[in-house]
């Protein structure tokens, strides 16, 4: 973990908090190249009524077309789901830094098996924000992870 990791995770956290404050799911992400943020996003499933508007997908969309992703790092507050992990692999993002995976253990092994370096920060702020969502809106959380 580097100082950059902490800096960019804090930016992803602010986006997650923004989504939470909007009534959405608290997941934020930033895409970084050479120490510069090239894309930001947060989960907009609730806000836009869009089932695939996950934080990582919103971030990639906002980064726009890139010639390559092989020199980028994706910072996300929550371990990415299979859809978002698939996008990471599809575009060749070589490193993913995850704020937390206690509330949702995503697809770290899938990512690693495709050559992606995965770092889990176990960030207390990310953990607490997702726990707050799960406690305050359990139906929304269940919907998001595909449970009844």
Catalytic residues: 56
Identify the helix (H) or strand (E) that includes residue 143.
helix 138-144
Task: Give the three-state DSSP class for 43.
Answer: coil
Contact 88, 80 (CB under 8 A): yes
Tokens encoding 40: 């930001």
Identify the helix (H) or strand (E) that includes residue 26.
none
Rounded to whole angstroms, the Cα distance separating 67 from 116 reads 19
Under 8 Å CB-to-CB from 43, ≥6 apart: which residues? 16, 19, 24, 25, 26, 27, 28, 53, 54, 55, 58
């Amino acid at each position: 973990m580097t100082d950059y990791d902490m800096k960019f995770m804090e930016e992803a956290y602010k986006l997650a908090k923004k989504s939470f404050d909007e009534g959405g799911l608290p997941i934020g992400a930033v895409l970084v190249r050479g120490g510069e943020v090239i894309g930001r996003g947060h989960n907009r499933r609730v806000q836009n009524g869009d089932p695939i508007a996950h934080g990582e997908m919103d971030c990639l969309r906002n980064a726009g077309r890139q010639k390559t992703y092989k020199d980028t790092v994706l910072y996300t507050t929550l371990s990415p789901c299979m859809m978002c992990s698939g996008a990471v692999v599809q575009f060749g993002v070589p490193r993913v830094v995850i704020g937390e995976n206690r509330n949702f253990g995503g697809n770290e092994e899938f990512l690693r098996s495709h050559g992606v370096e995965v770092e889990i920060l176990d960030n207390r702020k990310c953990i607490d924000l997702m726990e707050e969502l799960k406690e305050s809106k359990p139906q929304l959380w269940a919907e998001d992870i595909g449970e009844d």
